[in-house]
Structure 1
Amino acid sequence: MTGSDTVAREVIVVGRVQGVFFRGSCQQEARRRHLAGWVTNEPDGSVRAWFEGAAPDVDSLCAWCQHGPPGAVVERVRTFDREPGGLGRFEVR
């Protein structure tokens, strides 16, 4: 995914976000928005993700991360602007 309007953000979601289908739900939401990137569980219990695509869609998925799927309890979300890497799809790692 490339283009002058493509942005990328790295997101770290802290709280009860593992074991609640956060990664699978995030993948569904990303694909619905036609975003590329990935999402993974971290050893400290957080979830880390990379979203790449049109700015409004990336913004929308970052906003979704503020609450996540049913069952998640999001305490904090940190976002970092990054350079797009030209990823072509979204995957769960």
Structure 2
Amino acid sequence: MGAVNPRESIVRRRAVVTGMVQGVGFRWSAREQAHRLGVTGWARNRVDGSVEVEVEGEPASVERMVAWLRSGPPGSAVDDVRVSDAQPDGDDAFRIRQTE
């Protein structure tokens, strides 16, 4: 067996979080949680009131971040999280982006 390519163990997920998720510090809390979990990506508000998040990293850490998105920070009220696969793009940090 050959060596495992480290990039093969990196996954990226895109999540659209709906509910009371704007104006409650959701993106900033997501950035703190991402830092704790060692994942990269970004979060931004969408004009429809949802928050869009992309998370990249080791599969277990990405899944922990997605699980966190399902509850969110105190003061938020998550109704739904739609998750899809995305292509890893090598982000080096987790950033807050401008509204789409």
Q: TM-score, normalised by structure 2?
A: 0.89
Aligned length: 92
Cα RMSD (Å): 0.9
What do the CA deviations read for 1:22-79 (whole angstroms, capped 9, x no partner)?
A: 0000000001111110000000000000000000000000000111000101000000
Could you tell me which residue of structure 1 aligns to residue 17 of structure 2? 13
Relative to its length, the structure with more helix (as a share) is 2
**Which of 48, 55, 58 does residue 59 from structure 2 map onto?**
55
User: Kindly, what percent of the aligned residue pairs are identical?
Assistant: 40
Name the CA distance, whole Å, in 1 between partners of 2:35 and 2:8: 20
Deviation at 1:86, TM superposition (A): 1.1
Spell out the pairing of 1:1-93 with structure 2 (5 A cutoff): 3-93=7-97
| Structure 2 residues without counterparts, runs of 5 or longer | 1-5
Deviation at 1:7, TM superposition (A): 0.1
Secondary structure of 2:84's aligned partner: strand
- The amino acid across from 1:66 in the alignment is R
| Structure having the higher Rg | 2
Q: TM-score, normalised by structure 1?
A: 0.96
Name the CA distance, whole Å, in 2 between partners of 1:61 and 1:75: 17
| Structure 1 residues without counterparts, runs of 5 or longer | none
- State the 4+ residue runs in structure 1 displaced beyond 6 angstroms: none
